[in-house]
């Protein structure tokens, strides 16, 4: 069985084709000089031009960026703490709190946060509520990456630092932190990507005022599909592609499932 | 020891507090909301007893079981739940069929190529979720080459034309497409750890290709199969975006029902009840997957 057989290869190629063809189609049509996503008419950059003159789209992109940066900073800080704490101490409640939002259907988190923001906090939904919502589900992802990194490490390093007289803070700053840094950076990039991408939770916690990228895309898809959607999709794909490549470069454990 | 304790609280308290406030509390609020009355126009009726519209004597502080009675009184909701389960089961099975050969191939490939092959699985999955659904709108749309090809084939056979987009078929394709990597990754992680010596031993003992697969590889891979199943089945169960974009008006699943209660008709208590029913379905599914994954992993060497 050292040489996987022909059938296996054929099926694998078909699956890869299934994964990539739809995305290639979107990219190709973003350069098509036609309002319809049907025949190839000719090459154009018009849809990109239209996109960059679309005021609301630009505001949406800016808002999404603000949300993603804030949420990933918060989630990385809290998620790193959670990952360290869960790895180091026998905690019962924290793992449940951190990992359940990752595992449950997104719609449940979206709905419960909507109720909480409106009923209990009585707040106006907007960028802040979306930032909080994104942080809530990203903490678990960061914690998983950080914990995975810690699990692969030799505990004796920390003992050695302690034996040499380092305080817990010194041990953390000089030994633990540099060692888990790749996981922290990977976690940060991951939570940024999750935030920029998220549709479901954003949909429930966004309110009405501020345009946000995924919601803008959703409205375009539902109301009037123009190749402008293809253009914005292509740009977003490039961005997340770069981020994921970067994240996997920093921490290979991401490749082995979450 | 004192210091160690301080460190423990210093790193565990901030995430704990954040999640208690923004995850645990909202979940509790959702449970409470499911027992309340809807407001006249939207949202909720106030909690104080005097303001309650239908002040039946059984009401306790404005709480009621009405939404639950409503849920069970109309078979429509049971039907939608069953349909969601059917879609989730079908999506999971198709994902398994597509993912297994690929995961097996990657796991048995040269070590140098594995990371690249897995990265190629993750990359499309990293692109925006809506875009991945939208792509199928183009491919299955009425103007698409695929739609023309299918319909001319149907015409040749003398069958009436079909609409690929806005159909249960489109929903299934979208569900499989969006969740496929969730099946490939855990399967690969499991298959990669298998010891090839076992297969060699089986071959030496005269097992053919199929026997080697069904009696050596497959039983060992069950934990991966079950975790992949949970990772696909659970999100599909609660998904509203795929039917919303690719499905027709009758392709409503639990997620769409919940969404409508919060953003359409605005019946929060009923929306919360539906969410809790979904949560229960998820807990049962996850519990089942965990239960199935555990004993079999240990027993696979002795049984089958």
Identify how many contiguous H helices and E strands chain B contains and give both numbers: 14, 0
Upper half-sphere CA count for residue B298 (Cβ side, 13 Å): 4
User: Are A173 and A82 in contact, with CB atoms under 8 Å apart?
Assistant: no
Helix axes A227-250, A46-53, angle to 10 degrees: 80
- Which residues span the domain enclosing A201? 54-256
CB contact under 8 A, A81 and B108: no
Helix axes B2-19, A127-151, angle to 10 degrees: 140
User: Are B300 and B222 in contact, with CB atoms under 8 Å apart?
Assistant: yes
Of A224-233, B5-14, B92-101, B257-266, highest mean pLDDT: B92-101
- The contacts of residue A86 (CB under 8 Å, 6+ apart) are A94, A95, A98, A143, A147
List the 143-182 stretch of A: residues with Cβ below 8 A of B: 143, 167-169, 172
pLDDT tens, residue by residue, A147-156: 888 887 888 8
Q: What is the mean pLDDT of residues A26-37?
A: 81
Residue whose C-alpha is closest to residue A148's, from A189, A182, A125:
A182
pLDDT tens, residue by residue, B200-246: 888 888 888 888 888 888 888 888 898 889 889 999 998 989 999 99
Using an 8 Å CB-CB cutoff, list chain B residues near A101. Answer: 19, 23
The answer to whether residue A52 neighbours chain B at the CB level (below 8 Å) is: no
Closest-CA distance of chain A to residue B245, Å: 7
Residue B1: predicted pLDDT: 53
Residue A257: predicted pLDDT: 43
Closest-CA distance of chain A to residue B160, Å: 22
φ/ψ of B93, rounded to 5, equals -65, -45
Q: What is the mean pLDDT of residues B71-85?
A: 87
User: CA–CA separation, B108 vs B83, rounded Å?
Assistant: 37
**Residue pairs between chains A and B whose CB atoms are closer than 8 Å:** 257
Residue B180: predicted pLDDT: 93
Q: What is the CATH number of the domain that holds A82?
A: 1.10.3720.10
DSSP state of A166: -
DSSP state of A42: -
pLDDT tens, residue by residue, B133-190: 999 998 898 878 788 888 888 888 888 888 888 888 999 999 999 999 989 998 998 8
Instruction: Kindly provide the ipTM of the predicted complex, given to two decimals.
Output: 0.83
- Give how many domains chain A has, as a whole number: 1
User: Are B232 and B182 in contact, with CB atoms under 8 Å apart?
Assistant: yes
Q: Strand pairing partners for B36?
A: B63
CA A125 to chain CA mean position, Å? 21
Q: How distant, in Å, are the alpha carbons of A99, A143, A214, B12, B254 from that of A92?
A: 12, 15, 36, 11, 32
φ/ψ of A121, rounded to 5, equals -85, -15
Number of Cβ within 10 Å of residue B269's Cβ equals: 25
CB contact under 8 A, B101 and A12: yes
Domain B71-297: which topology?
MetI-like fold (1.10.3720)
Identify whether A137 is part of a domain: yes
């Amino acid at each position: 069985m050292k040489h996987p057989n022909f059938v296996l290869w054929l099926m694998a190629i078909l699956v890869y084709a299934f994964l990539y063809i739809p995305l290639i189609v979107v990219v190709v049509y973003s350069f098509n000089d036609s309002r319809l996503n049907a025949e190839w008419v000719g090459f154009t950059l018009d849809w990109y031009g239209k996109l960059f003159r679309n005021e609301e789209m630009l505001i949406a992109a800016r808002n999404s960026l603000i949300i993603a940066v804030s949420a990933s900073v918060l989630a990385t800080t809290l998620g790193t703490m959670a990952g360290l704490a869960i790895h180091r101490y026998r905690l019962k409640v924290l793992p449940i709190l951190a990992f359940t939002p990752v595992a449950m259907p997104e719609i449940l988190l979206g709905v419960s946060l909507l109720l909480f923001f409106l009923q209990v906090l009585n707040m106006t939904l907007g960028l802040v509520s979306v930032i909080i919502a994104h942080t809530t589900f990203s903490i678990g992802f960061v914690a998983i990456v950080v914990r995975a990194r810690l699990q692969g490490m030799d505990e004796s390093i920390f003992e050695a630092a302690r034996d040499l007289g380092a305080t817990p803070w010194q041990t953390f700053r000089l030994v633990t932190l540099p060692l888990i840094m790749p996981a922290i950076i990977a976690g940060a990039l991951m939570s940024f990507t999750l935030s920029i991408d998220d549709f479901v939770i954003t949909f429930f916690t966004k309110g009405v005022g501020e345009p946000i990228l995924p919601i803008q895309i959703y409205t375009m898809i539902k109301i009037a599909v123009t190749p402008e959607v293809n253009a914005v999709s292509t740009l977003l794909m490039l961005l997340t592609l770069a981020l994921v490549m970067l994240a996997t470069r920093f921490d290979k454990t991401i490749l082995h499932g979450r | 020891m004192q210091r160690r304790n301080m460190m423990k609280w210093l790193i565990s308290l901030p995430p704990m507090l954040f999640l208690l406030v923004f995850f645990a509390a909202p979940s509790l609020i959702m449970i409470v909301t499911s027992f309340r009355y809807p407001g006249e126009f939207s949202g909720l009726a106030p909690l104080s007893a005097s303001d309650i519209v239908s002040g039946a004597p059984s009401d306790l502080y404005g709480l009621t079981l009405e939404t639950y009675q409503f849920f069970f009184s109309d078979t429509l909701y049971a039907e939608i739940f069953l349909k969601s389960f059917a879609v989730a089961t079908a999506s999971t099975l198709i994902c398994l069929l597509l993912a297994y050969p690929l995961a097996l191939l990657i796991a048995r490939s040269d070590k140098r190529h594995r990371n690249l092959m897995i990265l190629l699985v993750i990359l499309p999955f990293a692109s925006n979720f809506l875009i991945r659904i939208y792509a199928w709108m183009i491919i299955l749309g009425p103007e698409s080459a695929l739609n023309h090809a299918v319909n001319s084939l149907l015409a040749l056979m003398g069958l009436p034309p079909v609409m690929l987009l806005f159909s249960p078929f489109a929903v299934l394709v979208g569900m499989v497409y969006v969740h496929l990597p969730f099946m490939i990754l855990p399967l690969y992680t499991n298959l990669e750890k298998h010891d090839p010596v076992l297969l060699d031993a089986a071959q030496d003992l005269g097992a053919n290709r199929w026997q080697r697969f069904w009696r050596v590889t497959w039983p060992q891979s069950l934990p991966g199969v079950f975790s992949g199943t949970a990772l696909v089945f659970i999100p599909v169960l609660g998904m509203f975006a795929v039917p919303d974009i690719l499905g027709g008006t009758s392709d409503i699943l639990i997620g769409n029902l919940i969404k409508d209660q919060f953003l359409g008709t605005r019946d929060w208590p009923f929306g919360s009840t539906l969410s809790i029913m979904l949560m229960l379905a998820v807990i049962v599914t996850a519990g089942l997957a965990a239960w199935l994954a555990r004993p079999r992993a240990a027993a696979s060497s002795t049984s089958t």
